[in-house]
Structures are given as C-alpha cells and as structure tokens.
Amino acid sequence: MLRNYIMTMLIVLLIATHTSAWAVGADDARQFVDSLGKRVLGVMNNSGGNEDQKQKQLQQMFTENVDIPWMGQFVLGHAWQQATPEQREHYLKAYQAYLLAHYTTNFADYTGAKYTITDVKPEASGQFTVNMQIKTPQQTQDTAAGYRLRTDNNGQFKIVDIIIEGVSLITTERAEFTAVTQKGGMDALISDLENKTQTEKKKS
C-alpha cells in the first residue's frame, strides 16, 4: 500500500515537472519568435537603409536563426545517404543560397506588416510551433503562419520549418526534391536549385 502511494506521488511529481518544463519552454519559444519578428520588421520598415543593406541584414538574421543544414538534410530524405561527400557539400551550399534568395527577396512584400502571435504548441522531441496571424497593408485578410522550432547543440532555438496557411515548407520541399532526385539524381537537384536561385535574385 505504501509502495503504491509512493509510486503514485512520484508519477504526479514527474508529470508536474514535465508540465512546468513545457510551460517555460513554450514561453521562451514565443519570446524568440516575437523578438525575431520585431527585428525583421525593424529592418524592413527602416526608411534610412538602402535595399542592399536591408537584404544583407535579413540574410544574416535568416542564417543565424534558421537551421539550414538540418532542413537541407531533412528535405533531401533518403538521397542524403546515397550522396557523396562532395555532392552533400555542393547541395547544402546550393540549398542555403536558394533559401536566402527566396525568403529575403519575398520579405519585401511584408513592409509595413503587423503580426499577432496566437498560440504556441509543444511538438514531439521538445519542438514547438509558434503560430501567428500576419497582416500587410496590401492584404484584406490575415495570413496564418507557423514557425516550428527546435534547440541546437548549444541549447539555442532554431527555426526548422515555416508553415503558411497550413502548408509546411519542409514537407513540400521533401516531396519536390524526391521527385527530382528520383528522375535525375543529385546533380539534377543541385542544378535546379542554382537555377531557381538566379531566378529569385532577378526579382530583387
């Protein structure tokens, strides 16, 4: 009887500790995204900086706060295991260049935007998804966006997925990349990413 009581109390304490840890983590995740969002909007809304300077600042923020190597390996799927070390290195460089060109170019569309964080959801393996509603001066309706976070080896939050209106970036890219590699191999995917990067740069 005493043993059962002790075991019950231990379970309750473990659950309470676990819940408390989630709550602190969720609050940290919210603060991370909120702080980053304010910094990004601050750069875009700065009337004193030229576009090249803004682009460089946004690219630096993106590189520092997005786990590009993790995302690059995830979206490649099984092809990562089959790639040579040289192909992996070339691919990750091409993938990073594409992400930076695509997202920092499109950031200009959010000049004057406002956002409201709606909730933070704990995911498996200590990850969190921070959801928000974004409103730009050009939009009549808000855009639903979510940012999935994980901690790196240094315990720092990194963004590992961007979800727009329920569509996951890494899930979509994994399907697209798999189709390309199955048809033409790694070299075809690298060439495709490099071509897309040049197309994005021409937009800016």
* Contact between 127 and 150 (Cβ < 8 Å): yes
Model confidence band, residue 51 (pLDDT cutoffs 50, 70, 90): confident
pLDDT at site 138: 84
pLDDT at site 154: 81
Say which residue, 54 or 31, is predicted with more confidence: 31
116-121 mean pLDDT: 97
Alpha helix locations (H) across 45-168? 51-65, 68-76, 79-82, 85-106
* Contact between 167 and 159 (Cβ < 8 Å): no
| Counts of helices then strands in the chain (DSSP H, E) | 6, 5
Main-chain phi, psi angles of 116, to 5 degrees: -135, 120
What is residue 66's DSSP assignment? B
* Contact between 113 and 135 (Cβ < 8 Å): yes
Model confidence band, residue 110 (pLDDT cutoffs 50, 70, 90): confident
Question: Considering only 44-53, 83-92, 127-136, 165-174, which range has the smallest mean pLDDT?
Answer: 44-53
pLDDT at site 15: 32
Q: Which residues pair with 148 in a beta bridge?
A: 129, 161
Model confidence band, residue 204 (pLDDT cutoffs 50, 70, 90): low
Average pLDDT, the chain: 85
Which of 3.30.450.370, 3.30.230.10, 3.40.47.10, 3.10.450.710 is the CATH number of 2-203?
3.10.450.710
Residue 108 reports pLDDT greater than 50: yes
Residue 122 reports pLDDT greater than 90: yes
Residue 195 reports pLDDT greater than 90: yes
Number of other CB atoms surrounding residue 150 within 10 Å: 18
Q: Where are the chain's structural domains?
A: 2-203
